[in-house]
Amino acid sequence: MVRTVNGDWLIRGRDGRLGVYTTRDEAVWCRAERHPGGAWLPWRRMGGDQRLHTVLAVGQGADGYAHLVAWQPTTGDEAGLVHSTHFRGHLAALDWIPIGHPNKNWARTGRPAVAVDAEGRAYVFVGNRGKGVHTVNQKVRGGWNAWHDLKGSKVHEELVAVTGESGLVELYGVSPAGILRWLQEEPGGRPVTADPLPVPVEPGTLAALPTSKEHTTLFFADREGMIHAWRPDTDPVPLLAAAGPGPLSLLRCVLDGHDCTVLAQRSASGRVAFAAYPTERESAGLWWTESGPQLPVGTRVALAEDAGGRVVAATVTPDGELRVARQKDEPGLALAAWQTV
């Protein structure tokens, strides 16, 4: 299933409030907690009244600010990317600012991805008309640098951008050759091509999570539906069969005093399935446990940790219904009943 929102759309802001982002009615919308752990405010339209294509990329910096990137129709069938910064989930975001198109004047070419480096600069990635990848990033003192061609061939339109614990930005994509990688080698530098991972991958299933100071773990499904975890200089490790066709949501957190990685996915039955294992210890094994009601096709699933350190799961249906479940105050990953908010 192809995402309409790329990146972690359930995030905790620097003030501890949770916020969610979604797209509908040619706009980007946000809901946020009135206060950490409290009731949720109504949906708020982001970035003014400009009409947008309903494709959104979300990235969050160490400062807690959310960076939003979307396609905006321009002339005829052409489009350009726009960017907005959202400092607080309960406040209005900045107006959308045009950042251009990798091919200058052209139609929408792919689904953008965005990551934010340790200095708070956004790096935007998107496919170009030649099926390669372009990037553009913010300058230290405001404004944007010029577009840069990262090359690549026959790259699937859905990209995954992540910032490692080192503060350096990483990008992953899928092509017939397998998984493509671009890694930032120094702060402020452009990501450069790294060795690909020549494995068969089901497009649209990539997900990445920083799991230590040295490593980001990449998750993907093969064409038979088996989920694998991979880190550089190792072989991919098969974890378990995918619960359903939708993308994974990932969270690193502490469960019962242990550093754990949690996976969530909309299952084939329509419910939300969860699995967890000790971080970077794939040999420990894991299994799915389903939770909550059946949800419509196209429902998105996300994970975050709230201000109290509890795991929070959220779903947003295509018509904008938001449901939230929080971890109970008991051992393991036990969630309280799902609430429509």
Tell me the average pLDDT across 5-21. Answer: 95
pTM: 0.96
pLDDT in tens, 165-222: 999 999 999 999 999 999 999 999 999 999 999 999 999 999 999 999 999 999 999 9
- Copy the structure tokens of residue 287: 């299994």
pLDDT in tens, 297-324: 999 999 999 999 999 999 999 989 999 9
- Is the per-residue pLDDT at 100 higher than 50? yes
Mean pLDDT of the chain: 95
Residue 316 · residue 300 · CB < 8 Å: yes
Q: How confident is the model at residue 287 (pLDDT cuts 50, 70, 90)?
A: very high
How far, in Å, are 29, 49, 111, 249 from residue 319 at the CA level? 12, 20, 21, 20
* Domain 5-246 architecture: 6 Propeller (2.120)
Tell me the average pLDDT across 327-335. Answer: 93
Strand partners, 313: 303, 325
Residue ranges of domains in the chain: 5-246
Could you please report the per-residue DSSP string of 198-209? -----TT--EEE
Q: Tell me what pLDDT residue 1 has.
A: 40
pLDDT in tens, 256-273: 999 999 999 999 999 999
Give CA–CA dist 11/125, Å, rounded.
20
Q: Tell me what pLDDT residue 2 has.
A: 45
Q: How confident is the model at residue 3 (pLDDT cuts 50, 70, 90)?
A: low
pLDDT in tens, 14-48: 999 999 999 999 999 999 999 999 999 999 999 88
